[in-house]
Chain A
Amino acid sequence: MRTVTVVGASLAGLHAARALRSQGFEGHLRIVGAEHHLPYDRPPLTKGYLTGAVTAEHLALTDAQDEAELQPEWLLGARATALDLGERSVVLADGRRLRSDGVVLATGAAAVPLRGTQFLGVHTLRTLEDAASLRAELREGQARVVVVGAGFIGAEVASSCASLGHRVTVVEAGAHPLASQLGEEIGALCAGLHADHGVTLVSGVGVAELHGKDGAGSSAGQRVSWVELTDGRQLPADIVVVGIGARPATAWLLDSGLPLSDGVVCDAGGVTEVPQVVAVGDVARSAGRREEHWTHAMAQPAVAVRNLLAGTTVAGYETPPYFWSDQYGARIQFAGRRHAGDTVRLVEGSPSDRSFAAVYEHEGVRTAAVAMNRPRPFAHLRRELGRPAGTVPA
């Protein structure tokens, strides 16, 4: 393999590049990024970057050592628009065709917008530009902020906004926040964090429509004024942040012939139908699953790259999912694969103290672990999950 093109200058793309070099690839390494930035770390965008604790420079994932070791050709601000499998070329928006022996798909996911949200003051949060624009508005003085969606992005943004002194309301369509990730019981506990910090959480209600100062509709250039909920309630809003999920960025692959289904369809090792094309990070649907977590984006590329260089699948990525969230001064950690209806069993601590570790069990088998402000027992539980079933002590 003489030339490998990594499409996506992201955490996953960078780790794919590092894995290529550390696994002995000595050829030409291209990294294509739609954004104008070198790879940066996204988790702080909802937290320290919004509050001002860290600056954009602190988010950089690469350093001089990377430049020396990777010797990459960076193609930044270059959007890939197609993948031509016939000549194995990545096609860029400016018409360039990058012939490649191997291709790593690392285009990630994009924030799902709310319908008809052309109003000024309405934000999604995925990129550094998104965060910079929200941060600038948050600095213009106290505002009424409505956060749509109480998932990780929504909850962390709400927490940051509250810490900056803004009046925050969170609207969650589900009965409890984070129920799909953490289950109803733990989700209900997380709901309490909002109230602890003076943030109003409105659950079980959707957003009907956004309204501008001059009435409904979505005329560009008009500023948002209030949010209409499906039960008729009206929430005044100077700023609206929409955190209702992300979709894999696969539109550019529609004509490629690669199977797509909420992500790039690939096997457990990240290999697509074409052995010279692998998918990493958020965009990969590996063995029927898609993960949008930082840890997956960091660790899974090494497996996909191994398979790419081998020309066939020799390894699968088997590590159970792990993610964390920092909100309202609480650190929530989760690992494993829970099922709906799993029993939650407290291992130590107390939910009312906002400090506990618990496990999920399905027919007596431990499936996942969760903790709030209990990193040490959580580390223990997470390690046990990595062991084969049957060896987990009770």
Chain B
Amino acid sequence: MIPVCRIEDLPLGGSVRLDLDPPITVFHADGGLYAVDDTCTHQDASLSDGWLEGCLIECPLHAASFDLRTGEPQCLPARRPLRTHRVSVDDGTVWLTPAEEPAREKGDAA
């Protein structure tokens, strides 16, 4: 488990990007905290810079949209899901448990 931040430092609509390999971003969206791979599966853009609406995050570069709950793409140009990761809160600290499945290689996505 990796400490992310204090819960009060992640208000609704906010996000924290962790410079892991690959980077992971924790979002505070409607309905709770969600963690997904930060890099859009379509092309190299940081979803932490994206547009958050409901449980959807829209890529800032080409407007591909993903459901934070499942990582599934909602529209083109993305066609592959993001990895999702477990987030928990313990005594006011947000913790991230990265998924064990390996990330796709960069550039692997169409």
| A interface residues with partner B (beta carbon < 8 Å) | 15, 18, 41, 54-55, 57-58, 60-63, 65-66, 294-295, 298-299, 322, 324, 331, 333, 375-376, 378-380, 383
Contacts and interface: CB of A to CB of B under 8 A. Distances in A.
Given A58-B107, A62-B110, A375-B49, A15 B76 contact: yes
Interface in B12-60: 43, 45-46, 49-51, 58, 60
B99 interface: no
B104 interface: no
A54 to B, nearest CB: 6
Interface of B: 43, 45-46, 49-51, 58, 60-63, 76-77, 79, 107, 110
Contacts of B107: 54-55, 57-58
A51 B16 CA distance: 31
B11 to A, nearest CB: 15
Given A298-B62, A375-B60, A376-B49, 9 more contacts: A41-B43, A55-B107, A57-B107, A65-B79, A375-B46, A375-B50, A376-B60, A378-B60, A379-B51
A324 B110 contact: no
A57 B49 CA distance: 27
Q: Is the interface of A mostly helix, strand, loop or mixed?
A: helix
Nearest to A19: B76
Contact of A383 (B49, B51, B62, B77): B51
19 contacts: A41-B43, A55-B107, A58-B107, A60-B110, A63-B79, A63-B110, A65-B79, A294-B62, A298-B62, A298-B76, A333-B60, A375-B60, A375-B61, A376-B50, A376-B60, A379-B49, A379-B60, A380-B51, A383-B51
A62 B76 CA distance: 13
In the A-B complex, the 6 residue pairs with the smallest Cβ-Cβ separation, listed nearest first, are: A375-B60, A58-B107, A375-B49, A379-B51, A63-B110, A376-B49
A324 B61 contact: yes
Contacts of A333: 60
Nearest to A371: B60
A333 to B, nearest CB: 8
B43 to A, nearest CB: 8
A11 to B, nearest CB: 9
